[in-house]
């Protein structure tokens, strides 16, 4: 990457993204600079995708409310959160009471601007902090929204395919439809850009990796309408990547029944990485897991977040800004997702090749000196061998012997080099 995840988020922050429009294309073009494999696709407005239809493309140039002296009291140019997403154009003078009917505030958090959209109901509206709205004096106000709907426009999404030695896939999904917000928006794409760089650099890839950057809901539905059969046949584990940029906690969000390989691995990695992680069932869903885990789709997909949507005070407000995320927070999530990738690459069923315990000493695997760290590794090796009976995959073994997969991988490599364990024919 040409810059850090945090610096990339800073570059993407001012862009006005939505379900469709130039802001999404601009976002994807910047991501493409960092991810040369990124393909940008357009789905024409009016296309039917399962039970939905791709909407007209929405673009916005400016929006403001000015007082009689021509001073802007609401200004899209200062923050794009100040207009309701997908607002219709308007140009009207009105009294304060009328203005208040089209301005959304959040009384419980009176100093922040709420994030509001009206995708499928025609509306024109503004957003403002409760305190700022209540400071406005009586008088006449000029409300202007310079937006445009393009009936023959399109919805834009990006995807990346990094081939491995099989067609079996690991899938990561994130969204690009929120305007200037960070944990719930930019953290996903920038963390995945760094993860893609990591995947690209792997010396050996068993799996093919599929990564999508699409507007939430309608974008995921459009993607599935084009790729469902292939994904159903090939995706072995997937993760929806949302809210991975703050540094307060980690959250696991289960698939519909919480019983997929993606769930099993997420719980395993998190319990070693951050034992106090929050665990949520599918009733707490809110992002594209809603589509990928829907009946009839059933992609094996879970989510690992830092502070999950709905669960942190800055969520869907102007306070979810560049102060809400940090390079350290993003790196924590990246570390977890790298562990997921590494674990998947080594997650086979293993079978020991000797009858009774193998003699490690004659192969140079047993230390001649006794030292604490070395002893732990030997203990893990012996325990791994004890459960490498062909009925456990590496996640099972990690759970049984209580050692993180990242510590088992070098042991697996050593044992394989020495012919002491083999991958059985049973893949995942
Ligand atoms: Zn959101």
Q: What are phi and psi of 330, to 5 degrees?
A: -65, -40
CA distance 13 to 183: 11
Share of the chain above pLDDT 90, in %: 95
Asked if 171 and 47 count as a contact pair (C-beta separation under 8 A), the reply is: no
**pLDDT per residue over 259-316, tens digit each?**
999 999 999 999 999 999 999 999 999 999 999 999 999 999 999 999 999 999 999 9
The total of other beta-carbon atoms located within 10 Å of residue 228's CB is: 14
- Is 321's pLDDT higher than 90? yes
CA distance 251 to 144: 41
The residue among 375 and 144 whose pLDDT is bigger is: 144
Residues, Cβ < 5 Å to ion ligand 1: 184
Of 260, 341, 266, nearest to 297 by C-alpha is 260
- Name the strand (E) or helix (H) holding 103: strand 103-104
Tell me what pLDDT residue 428 has: 59
| Mean residue pLDDT across the chain | 96
Residues 309-333: what's their mean pLDDT? 98
What's the 30 CA to ligand 1 centre distance in angstroms? 21
Bridge partners, residue 41, by sequence? 157
What's the 181 CA to ligand 1 centre distance in angstroms? 9
What's the 427 CA to ligand 1 centre distance in angstroms? 37
**pLDDT per residue over 114-137, tens digit each?**
999 999 889 999 999 999 999 999
What's the 75 CA to ligand 1 centre distance in angstroms? 22
Asked if 55 and 127 count as a contact pair (C-beta separation under 8 A), the reply is: no
What's the 316 CA to ligand 1 centre distance in angstroms? 6
Tell me what pLDDT residue 367 has: 77
First-to-final CA distance of the chain: 32
Asked if 307 and 247 count as a contact pair (C-beta separation under 8 A), the reply is: no
What's the 114 CA to ligand 1 centre distance in angstroms? 11
**pLDDT per residue over 158-186, tens digit each?**
999 999 999 999 999 999 999 999 999 99
What's the 291 CA to ligand 1 centre distance in angstroms? 15
- Is 369's pLDDT higher than 90? no
What's the 320 CA to ligand 1 centre distance in angstroms? 10
- Is 427's pLDDT higher than 70? no
> Residues 268, 376, 408, 244: is their CA dihedral positive or negative?
positive
Tell me what pLDDT residue 198 has: 98
**pLDDT per residue over 401-418, tens digit each?**
999 999 999 999 999 999
Tell me what pLDDT residue 426 has: 60
What's the 178 CA to ligand 1 centre distance in angstroms? 7
What own/partner pairs with CB < 8 Å and gap ≥ 24 does 233-236 have? 234/167, 234/168, 234/169, 234/208, 235/169, 235/170, 235/171, 235/210, 235/299, 235/300, 235/301, 236/168, 236/169, 236/170, 236/207, 236/261, 236/300, 236/344, 236/428
CA distance 297 to 224: 8
What's the 262 CA to ligand 1 centre distance in angstroms? 23
What's the 338 CA to ligand 1 centre distance in angstroms? 24
**pLDDT per residue over 57-115, tens digit each?**
999 999 999 999 999 999 999 999 999 999 999 999 999 999 999 999 999 999 999 99
Q: Which of 205-214, 282-291, 318-327, 365-374 has the lowest mean pLDDT?
A: 365-374
Residues 345-351: what's their mean pLDDT? 96
- Is 375's pLDDT higher than 90? no
């Amino acid at each position: 990457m040409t810059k850090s995840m945090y610096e990339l988020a800073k570059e993407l922050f001012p862009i006005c993204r939505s379900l469709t429009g130039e802001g999404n294309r601009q976002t994807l073009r910047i991501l493409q600079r960092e991810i040369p494999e990124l393909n940008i696709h357009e789905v024409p407005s009016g296309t039917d995708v399962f039970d939905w239809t791709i909407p007209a493309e929405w673009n916005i140039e400016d929006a403001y409310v000015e007082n009689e002296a021509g001073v802007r009291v609401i200004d899209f140019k200062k923050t794009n959160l100040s207009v309701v997403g997908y607002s219709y154009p308007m140009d009207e003078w009105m009294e304060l009471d009328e203005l208040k009917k089209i301005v959304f505030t959040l009384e419980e958090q009176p100093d922040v601007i709420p994030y509001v959209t009206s995708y499928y109901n025609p509306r024109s509206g503004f957003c403002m902090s409760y305190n700022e709205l209540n400071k406005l004096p009586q008088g006449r106000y000029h409300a202007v929204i310079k937006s445009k709907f393009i009936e023959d426009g399109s919805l834009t999404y990006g995807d990346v395919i990094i081939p491995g030695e099989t067609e079996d896939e690991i899938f990561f999904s994130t969204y690009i439809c929120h305007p200037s917000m960070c944990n719930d928006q930019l953290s996903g794409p920038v963390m995945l850009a760094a993860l893609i760089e990591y995947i690209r650099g792997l010396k050996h890839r068993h799996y093919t990796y599929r990564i999508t950057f699409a507007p939430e809901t309608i974008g995921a539905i459009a993607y599935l309408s084009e790729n469902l059969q292939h994904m159903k046949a090939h995706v072995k584990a997937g993760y929806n990547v949302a809210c991975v940029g703050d540094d307060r906690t980690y959250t696991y969000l289960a698939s519909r029944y919480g019983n997929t390989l993606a769930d099993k691995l997420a719980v395993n990695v998190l319990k070693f990485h951050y034992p106090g992680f929050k665990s949520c069932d599918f009733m707490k869903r809110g992002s594209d897991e809603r589509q990928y885990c829907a009946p009839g789709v059933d992609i094996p997909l879970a989510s690992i977040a830092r502070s999950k949507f709905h669960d942190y005070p800055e969520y869907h407000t102007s306070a979810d800004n560049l102060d809400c995320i940090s390079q350290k927070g993003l790196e924590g999530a990246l570390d977890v997702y790298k562990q997921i990738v590494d674990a998947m690459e080594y997650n086979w069923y293993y079978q020991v090749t000797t009858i009774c315990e193998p003699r490690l000493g004659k192969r140079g695997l047993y230390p001649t000196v006794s030292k604490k760290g070395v002893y732990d590794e030997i203990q893990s090796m012996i325990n791994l061998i004890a459960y490498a009976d062909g009925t456990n995959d590496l996640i099972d073994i990690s759970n049984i012997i209580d050692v993180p997969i990242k510590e088992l991988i070098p042991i697996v490599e050593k044992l394989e080099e020495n012919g002491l364990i083999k991958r059985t024919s049973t893949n995942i």
